[in-house]
Structure 1
Amino acid sequence: MIPETTLAFSGVLHAELKGHLFPEDGLEAAAILICTRTPGPRFRLLVRDMILVPHAACQRREHDGITWPGEYLEQAIDVAEPAGRAVILIHSHPGGLFAFSIADDESDQRVIPSLFHAFGAFHGSAVMTTDGAVRARLYDSDLEERPVDLVTVSGDDLSYWWADNATDRGPRDRPIAFTSGMTAELGRLSALVVGASGTGSITCEQLARLGFGRVQVVDFDRVEWKNLNRILNSSHADAAANRLKVQVFAEAVTGYRGQGIAVPVPASITTREAVLAAADCDVVFCCVDTLEARHIADLIAAAFLLPLFDVGVVIPVRKKGDTFAVADVCGRIDYVQPGGSTLQDRGIYTPESLRGEYLRRVAPEAHQQELEAGYLRGLVDEAPAVITLNMRAASACVNEFIARAYPFRLEPNTLYARTEFSLAACEEEYFAETAFTRTPNLILARGNAEPLLGMPILNRVVR
C-alpha cells in the first residue's frame, strides 16, 4: 500500500542534521525541522529549514535525556507560522533506541500544545539513531498521535525507513537488490515517468514489472505508424486509432498487474495536472527529448524533494562524401538528488538553450529544428531503428535507481552522478557529484506554495 504520510529529507540537510545530533560526545542533541508539504492528496512533509539547538545552550545534555531553551521553539514559530508550515521536534538517541521513550511522550505533551496554540493543524516529533535512521510521528490539534508511515532521504543513496518495519532496536534489515524483498517494498512506492515514447515506454515497462505500486506516466502525444518500431506494447490498431501513448501503456500493465497500477496522465509536463501527479510520487524518471521538459523535471525534483533519473540518447552522424556515416552511438544517465547539482548545473540545458528551443518550436519552418530534434543528430529520419539503443539506456537508468535504493556497487554511489556510454567506442565514463558546481536552489522544498514550482503558468485556477 502506498504510504499515507511521509517525511522527506534531502541528502544534504539530512547529513547536516546527523552531524549536529551526534557530535561524538555520546550525549543527546536537538533540532527543529520546518516543513512544507506537497499539494496532496498524499501527505508528504518536506524538510525545508532546520534550527539546530546549540549544544552549549542546552540546560541538560545526557546519554538519555536533554533539556533545551524555549527560545528556539519561538524562533521556529516565527519562521513557520507566516507560511503555515509544520514543525517537527527532533533529537538524537545515542543509545540506539529507535522508538519514543516515556520521557519523549511526556515532553511532547508539554511542548506540542504550545505549537498548536500559535498556529497550524499538524506538528510532530522525531528521533534519530547513530546510523541516521529517523522515526517520526504527527499530532493533530487534539493531540491525537499517528506514526509517519515513511521517512525518506534522497542523497547519494536512497533511504527508506518504514514505521511498520521497525523495532525498538532499529529498522529491520533492508531488502537486497534484485530479490522478491525488493519487489515487495517497491509495491509501496509510486514512480512518475515523464515521456512514454522511445526510452520512456521501456522505462515504464521495467518499473511496472519490477513491482512499483503505482506508475504514473505523463505524455500528451499519440501513437503514430512511425512509432511502432520503438514503443513497447504499441500496435497497428493503436496507430490507426491515433491512441494516446499513456493509455496504451496503462492497458498493457492492467493485463499483467491488474487495475490501478498504471495511471495515465495525458498532459504536458508543463501543466498543473502533470505537476500535481509528480508531487504525489516517490521518484521521477525523465525520458524526454526536449530541454523544457527536463527543466520542469529539475524543478519538480527540487520543489518536492524527489530523486530524479534523467536519460538521453543520441547518434551523431557526419557527412562522408555524398552520404552519411555514424560518428558515435551515445547514451547518458544523470542522477539528480534534491539539494545537489541540477541538470542545469551540469550543462544539460541553459537559459539560452531553452530560449532557442522555444524559438524553434514557434517557427516550425526552420530546417535546423528538424536536424536537431531527432535521434540521429544531423540527419532527418522519422522512424529510426533505435530500440536497441533505447533498451540499453533505459535499462541503465532503472538500474541506477536500484543501485541507489538497494546499494550493490563495489564503490560509493557518489561517484556515479552521471554515466555516459559510447557503443561505438565500447566505453563508459562516470562523473562524481563533486565534478559539478552546485548553485543555490531557491525552490528547494518549496512544496505546495503557489504558484507551483514558482511558475505563474501553473497557478491555481480560481473559479
Structure 2
Amino acid sequence: MTENVNRIFFEHLIREDGQEDLCFAFYKLSSGKSRKTGVINEVILPEFGDRNVHGNVSFNSAYFDKVTSYALANNFGICFIHSHPYPGWQGMSFDDIEAEKMLAPRVKAVTGLPLVGMTIGTDNYWSARFWIKETPNTYERYWCESVRVVGKSLKTYFCDDIFPKSNFGEEFKRTISSWGDLKQHEISRLKIGIVGLGSVGSIVAEAIIRTGIRNLTLIDFDLVELKNLDRLLAINRVDIGKFKVDVQKERFLKTELISDLSINAVPYSITEKEGQEAALDCDILFSCVDMPLPRYALDCLSFANLIPVIDGGIDTNPKDDLSNIDQARWKTHTIGPERICMQCLGQYKPEDAALEISGELDNPNYIKGLPKNHFINRGENVFGFSLSLAGMEIQQFLSLILKPRGINYGPKEMDFNTGNIDFDFENECRQDCAISQGLLGCADELNKTLIIKHLGAENNRMKHENSIVNKKNKGFYTFFKESINSLFSF
C-alpha cells in the first residue's frame, strides 16, 4: 500500500479509546514468478451505522453489500482489515478466524479472488493473510511473508515464522554498528532486483551483497564481450561469451559472506515475461539500464505494482578534437508511488521507447541516419564514473530504508567539471501524469501489456546455447582424437 493509504488506515483503526475497529479495502493482484502480491489501491471506510464498536467490533450486511458491489463494478479483490490492541505481527483469535472464514467464500464468489485479511497493531505493525479455496467447501489461511508500505520511504513488516531473521556474525559487526540490529534485520530480508549488470549494475550488486541482503535477483540478457572488460567489476577474459548474470552469480556465491544467500540469475529482458515476473518478486528494483524501453517498462511497473525503482544515468562528452573530456554528469533518483516518475523527470522520451519497440534501433541503416548526439550513438563512459553513480544509487537505497532523522531526499546530480552535487529537482509528477496517476495500483491489469518480443535477448540466448554446444562437440572431438592417438601409440 502507499503511505497515504496507510495513513488513512492508521487514523481510522487506531482509536483513542483503545477499542478495536474495522474497515474494508480493495486490491489488484500482482503476479510474479514465485509470489503473488495484493496491491491495495482504495479504501472504503464505514459510515454511521455500518459497524458496531463494543470493545470488539462487528459490521452489518449493508456495509458488506456496498463493498461487494463496488468490488464487482471495478474488478477488485477485497481486503477485510481490523485492529488489535497489541503491538507487532498479530496472530488471530478464534473469533477472527471464524469471521474471515465466513467472508472468504462470499468474497471469492463475487470477485473470483481470495479474501485478504489484515490486522494492524497499536504500533502500526501490519500482518496479512490470503484465504485460498482448497476444495469446494474448504478455505485455508496462508500467511503473507511481508506487508510493504511504499512512498517517500519504504517500510516492510515481516512474518518471522515465514521469513526468519538472519544470524549475522563478526563479518557484519561494523555494518550493524552503523544502524543497529533492528534495521539490519529489515534490510537483510528485502528482496532486491538489479536490472542491467553492466558497469553500474555490477558495482551495485557488489554493494548490496556486502550490506547483508540475502535475496538478490539479477536481470540482464547481455553476454560478456571484449569491450566490457574495462568497465565490468571482476570480469576476466575467460568470461567472454558467458551471460553477465551467470558470471556475477557464481562470483557472489564464492564469497561465502552470507550462509543463506539466494541469487536468481535471469538472462532475459525486463520486457520479456521471464524478466518481468522475476522483477515482480522483488521489493526494490535498481534500474541500471541505458535504453528508453526498459526505463519505460520499469517506470510503469513501479507505479502499477508499488515497487520503488532506483534509477541512474551517466552523460559524458569528449572534446571535438578528443584532446580531453568536455563534460560529464551523472544523476540518480528513486521513483515510485508518491514520488516522481522517470518520464516527468526527463530520463527518457516516450517516442524513443516507441522507436525501440518498432525495432528500428536494431536497423543499421536507420541508425546510420541518426544525429551524432542521439542516445543510441553515445557509449562514452569510464569505470570511475560508474563507481560514483553506483555509490549514489546505494545512498538512495539506504536513505529510502533508513530515513535518518526523518529526512527523505529526491533526485541528485553530480557535475564532474565543478564537483557540485545538484539537488534542486522536482520530486512529484504533473497532476495529469499518465504514469503516476493513470497506472497507480493497476498491477496485473497493466503488467501483461508491457510484455513484448525482444529479438536481441533471443539472439543472445541462442548464441550462448550454440557456444555451449560447440564447446561440448570440441571436447568430444579432443577426447576422440586423444583416444585414437593413444591406441596407435600402444
Give the structure-2-normalised TM-score. 0.76
What are the residue-to-residue correspondences of 1:275-354 with 2, within 5 Å? 275-319=276-320, 322-323=321-322, 325-338=324-337, 340-354=339-353
Query: What secondary structure is seen at the aligned counterpart in 1 of 2:344?
Result: coil
Name 2:99's counterpart in structure 1. Answer: 107
Which letter maps to 1:66?
V
Contact 2:39/2:305 (<8 A) preserved:
no
Name 1:170's counterpart in structure 2. Answer: none
What are the residue-to-residue correspondences of 1:15-164 with 2, within 5 Å? 15-22=7-14, 28-61=20-53, 64-81=55-72, 86-93=77-84, 99=90, 100-101=92-93, 103-118=95-110, 120=112, 122-141=114-133, 142-164=138-160
Contact 1:334/1:418 (<8 A) preserved:
yes
Name 1:256's counterpart in structure 2. Answer: 255
Contact 1:336/1:342 (<8 A) preserved:
yes
- Distance, in Å, in 2 between the alignment partners of 1:43 and 1:74 is 30
Give me the CA root mean square deviation.
Answer: 3.3
Q: Structure 1 residues 325 and 161, CA, compared in 2 at 3 Å: closer, same or farther?
A: same
Give the structure-1-normalised TM-score. 0.80
- How far has the Cα of 1:274 moved from its partner? 0.7
- How far has the Cα of 1:278 moved from its partner? 0.7
Which letter maps to 1:430?
F
Q: 1:454 aligns with which of 434, 441, 449?
A: 449
Contact 2:203/2:233 (<8 A) preserved:
yes
What are the residue-to-residue correspondences of 1:179-194 with 2, within 5 Å? 182-194=183-195
Moved more, 363-372 or 418-427: 363-372
- Distance, in Å, in 2 between the alignment partners of 1:432 and 1:95 is 41
Contact 1:186/1:213 (<8 A) preserved:
no
Residue 423 of structure 2 corresponds to residue 430 of structure 1? yes
Contact 2:345/2:426 (<8 A) preserved:
no
- How far has the Cα of 1:232 moved from its partner? 0.9
1:31-89 residue CA offsets vs partner (Å, 9 max, x unmatched): 21222223244333223433422342434235x33333323322333344578754221
Q: Name the larger-Rg structure.
A: 2
Contact 1:33/1:51 (<8 A) preserved:
yes
Which letter maps to 2:367?
P
Query: What secondary structure is seen at the aligned counterpart in 2 of 1:230?
Result: coil
Moved more, 203-212 or 436-445: 436-445
Q: Comparing both structures, which one devotes a greater share of its residues to helix?
A: 2
Residue 369 of structure 2 corresponds to residue 366 of structure 1? yes
1:129-161 residue CA offsets vs partner (Å, 9 max, x unmatched): 454322223333424334322111111111111
- How far has the Cα of 1:197 moved from its partner? 0.7
Contact 1:35/1:45 (<8 A) preserved:
no
Contact 1:191/1:281 (<8 A) preserved:
yes
Contact 1:312/1:333 (<8 A) preserved:
yes
Residue 410 of structure 2 corresponds to residue 417 of structure 1? yes
Contact 1:286/1:294 (<8 A) preserved:
yes
Contact 2:88/2:123 (<8 A) preserved:
no
What are the residue-to-residue correspondences of 1:369-408 with 2, within 5 Å? 372-373=375-376, 384=381, 386-408=382-404
Query: What secondary structure is seen at the aligned counterpart in 2 of 1:56?
Result: coil
- Distance, in Å, in 2 between the alignment partners of 1:453 and 1:113 is 28
Query: What secondary structure is seen at the aligned counterpart in 1 of 2:189?
Result: coil
Alignment size in residue pairs: 427
